[in-house]
């Protein structure tokens, strides 16, 4: 191991940090915790600490702690759009649970209002909203993830979550109490500041007939099953679509379907997906991403941009 590699995987936590975290979180903080089980790719080395936070008050306390100790932190949602390096993540990885997982739906005149915590499951949110007749919710059906992660990514299909946002509440080290903020939503990204955690969101939909909305949702879910390898560990589309084209089309036409690096494979079903065939590493996936990008550049002169977020230390961890 080179000195640089050794430094990259060295924990940033001292004994005093561990003691302070244990005092706040008890069993809900884990040290040197592998992140692979927390991602849909099932890939990723250990976090120095993984803290599961149940309330806005706890989150504020943790963010204050990070500010005081100049401790790096990163928030993970359902891990369905991230590639975590094999060397893991230094500092504290934050996971929201408890009150952040709640989602409530109510009818307000001719609108359906959804109030959800930052870690509310999109499957739960879309199912509840569809039952109430939220028009447009079908566009978000089948997107695995949390509300907070989806907001940062402006997740969607023909329509995106940003279109339905009425209010966003965030917390940050410099402003730990929950406060509302305004965000702009772009294609698969938002202007949400990097150092904020989305703790609560209010979505607003026009009201339609629940039967129609549910039936549209079922149709879209069936179509997803037919066109995407949803039973295998992956992170959905790896690259953003370039203007007026589809990344999957360009990748397929470059002949990359079925390409492999180690245990990672470009999906034979959907060329913009990379599957973990069992024991793929982040290095396998990153190498394959680079190969695919190069092939598309060489064949089509198009520079594909990553949609998935790369996080942590990308080294050979062995």
Residues with a catalytic annotation lie at 188, 237, 307
**Interface segment toward ligand FAD; rule CB under 6 A; list 10-18, 50-58, 152-160, 275-283:** 152-160
Output the CA–CA distances (angstroms, integers) from residue 211 to 127, 219, 301, in the order listed. 12, 12, 46
Q: Smallest distance, Å, CB 228 to ligand FAD?
A: 6
Q: What is the DSSP letter of 241?
A: P
Would you say 92 or 143 has its CB closer to ligand FAD?
143
Would you say 209 or 219 has its CB closer to ligand FAD?
219
List strands edge to edge, sheet with 111-117.
103-108, 111-117, 197-206, 165-171, 179-181
77 touches ligand FAD (CB under 6 A) = yes
Residue where the block lists tokens 């245990």? 263
Output the CA–CA distances (angstroms, integers) from residue 316 to 85, 133, 193, 286, in the order listed. 9, 49, 31, 12
40 touches ligand FAD (CB under 6 A) = yes
Burial class (CB in 10 A: 0-12, 13-18, 19+), 310: middle
* Binding residue for ligand FAD, selected from 52, 126, 146, 281, defined by CB under 6 A: 146
Output the CA–CA distances (angstroms, integers) from residue 258 to 81, 246, 254, 302, in the order listed. 21, 18, 12, 21
94 touches ligand FAD (CB under 6 A) = no
In whole angstroms, give the CA distance from residue 269 to residue 310.
24
78 touches ligand FAD (CB under 6 A) = yes
Q: CA end-to-end span of the chain, whole Å?
A: 9
* Binding residue for ligand FAD, selected from 81, 241, 272, 281, defined by CB under 6 A: 81
Give the ranges where 26-91 is alpha helix by DSSP (H).
56-68
**Interface segment toward ligand FAD; rule CB under 6 A; list 13-21, 44-52, 59-67, 226-234:** 226-234
Question: Cα 229 to chain center, whole Å?
Answer: 18
173 touches ligand FAD (CB under 6 A) = no
Q: Smallest distance, Å, CB 77 to ligand FAD?
A: 2
Would you say 179 or 294 has its CB closer to ligand FAD?
179
Residue where the block lists tokens 């993540």? 89
Output the CA–CA distances (angstroms, integers) from residue 229 to 10, 47, 223, 226, in the order listed. 36, 28, 11, 8
* Binding residue for ligand FAD, selected from 90, 128, 152, 270, defined by CB under 6 A: 152
- What is the three-class DSSP state of 192? coil
- Map the footprint of ligand FAD across residues 116-135, applying CB under 6 A: 118
- Map the footprint of ligand FAD across residues 285-314, applying CB under 6 A: 309
Q: Smallest distance, Å, CB 185 to ligand FAD?
A: 11
* Binding residue for ligand FAD, selected from 87, 91, 156, 162, defined by CB under 6 A: 156
Would you say 146 or 281 has its CB closer to ligand FAD?
146
Q: 29, 51 in Cβ contact below 8 A?
A: yes
* Binding residue for ligand FAD, selected from 29, 43, 59, 75, defined by CB under 6 A: 75
* Contact residues for ligand FAD, defined by CB under 6 A: 40, 74-82, 96, 118, 143-146, 148-150, 152-153, 155-157, 188, 197-198, 228, 230, 234-236, 309
């Amino acid at each position: 191991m080179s000195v640089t590699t050794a430094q990259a995987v060295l924990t940033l936590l001292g004994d005093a940090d561990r003691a302070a975290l244990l005092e706040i979180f008890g069993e809900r903080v884990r040290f040197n915790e592998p992140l692979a089980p927390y991602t849909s790719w099932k890939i990723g080395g250990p976090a120095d600490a993984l803290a599961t936070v149940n309330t806005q008050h706890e989150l504020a306390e943790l963010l204050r702690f990070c500010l005081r100790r100049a401790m790096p932190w990163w928030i993970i949602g359902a891990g369905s759009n991230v590639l975590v390096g094999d060397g893991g993540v230094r500092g504290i990885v934050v996971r929201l649970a408890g009150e952040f997982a709640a989602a409530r739906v109510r009818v307000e005149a001719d609108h359906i209002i959804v109030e959800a915590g930052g870690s509310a499951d999109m499957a739960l949110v879309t199912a509840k909203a569809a039952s109430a007749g939220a028009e447009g919710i079908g566009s978000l059906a089948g997107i695995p993830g949390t509300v907070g992660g989806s907001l940062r990514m402006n997740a969607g299909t023909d329509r995106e979550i940003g279109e339905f946002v009425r209010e966003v509440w965030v917390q940050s080290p410099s402003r730990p109490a929950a406060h509302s903020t305004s965000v702009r939503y772009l294609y698969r990204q938002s202007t949400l500041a990097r150092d904020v955690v989305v703790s609560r969101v209010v979505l607003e939909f026009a009201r339609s007939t629940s039967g129609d909305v549910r039936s549209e949702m079922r149709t879209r879910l069936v179509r997803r099953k037919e066109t995407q390898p949803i039973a295998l560990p992956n992170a959905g589309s790896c690259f953003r679509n370039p203007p007026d084209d589809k990344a999957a089309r360009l990748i397929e036409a470059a002949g990359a379907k079925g390409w492999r690096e180690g245990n990672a494979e470009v999906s034979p079903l959907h060329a913009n997906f990379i599957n973990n065939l069992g024991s793929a590493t982040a290095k396998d996936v990153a190498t394959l991403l680079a190969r695919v990008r190069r092939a598309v550049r060489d064949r089509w002169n198009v520079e594909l941009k990553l949609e998935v977020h790369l996080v942590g230390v990308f080294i050979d961890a062995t």
